[in-house]
Amino acid sequence: MNFELTYLYNKLDNPELQWFEKSVENKEVLYYDHQDFNNKCNVGSGGSSSVYVVDWKDTKYAIKRFKNFSKIMNDVKNEVF
């Protein structure tokens, strides 16, 4: 099963993923395509995420990539809100 089909399958069964998509649609959570970032440099990782420093629009940012987003959604909600 490819990533898109796996994502769609998981989304249908997972209200947390549905919440995330709705939050992105409502602009409560900002989502950026990882392909827009340049010079990605991993600066740390833990059990549920990795942190990178990236360049985006001539500015450096720290971003967090979650390893298993659907399983840790409540932690993500607490961190974002």
Higher pLDDT pick, 66 / 60: 60
For residue 76, the tally of other CB atoms under 10 A from its CB is 19
pTM exceeds cut of 0.75 = no
Could you give the domains of the chain? 3-80 (3.30.200)
Rounded to the nearest 10 degrees, the angle between the axes of helix 15-25 and helix 73-80 is: 30
pLDDT (0 to 100) of residue 34: 79
For residue 54, the tally of other CB atoms under 10 A from its CB is 17
pLDDT in tens, 5-25: 444 455 556 777 777 788 888
pLDDT (0 to 100) of residue 81: 60
Q: Which residues contact 1 (CB under 8 A, 6 or more apart)?
A: 9
